[in-house]
Amino acid sequence: MRSKAKLLLTRIFAEPVARWLARTGVSPNALTVVGLLISLAAALAIAVGYVAAGGVVLLAAGLFDMLDGALARATGRVTRFGALLDSTMDRVAESAVFGGLAWRSAGLGDATGVMLAFAALVASFLVSYLRARSEGLGVPGDVGIAARPERVILLALGLMSGLVAPALALVAALAFVTAGQRLAYAAAKTREAGPSAGSNDR
């Protein structure tokens, strides 16, 4: 149930590059850390006013975000710790980018921009939280219209085009919708399975 954007980019870009990287000996976890550093660079660029450049760098970070998983699969090095590290670094990266946007907006006296960045951050975290909790219950959690790849692409396009506020509003709205979809899907699936011993089913 991976997002269509991620599936398409994985097939076109990530898998061929991952096969090449597999011959170099680089580890998937190293790519995860590199992707985080690129996201931090994007956040810094945005915070100091290089918004369009930040969008370009953010897209590059998004590509690295796909490469680590593709490399892990290509080399047979898929591990639970790798998945945990990837998820954790994604949350740090999102916090940094939205924090950079909030910092930039605050410096311009743009209270609306600050609130939009905050809303997008909360919604994005809610989407990832619902996936983690759903999968902890044995329910697929990667449903919905706007997973991380879609959100990164939308935000990067908004940054590069100068339509930052509309992009933030769209990212926040789509993330909240996605969270609702994931919650509804999990509710339906857990209801089908019935209550488990010691559950908090209501």
- Residue-wise pLDDT tens digits, 63-100: 888 888 778 888 887 888 988 898 899 999 999 999 99
Q: What is the pLDDT of residues 48-65, one digit of tens each?
A: 999 999 999 999 998 888
Quick one: pLDDT band at residue 142, thresholds 50, 70, 90?
confident
Tell me the pTM.
0.85
pLDDT digits (tens, 9 = 90+) for 181-197: 999 999 998 887 665 54
The owner of tokens 């100091």 is: 48
Question: What is the pLDDT at residue 97?
Answer: 97
3-state secondary structure of 37: helix
Residue 68 falls in the annotated catalytic set: no
The single residue of 90, 110, 142, 201 carrying the catalytic annotation is 90
What's the CATH class of domain 4-188? mainly alpha
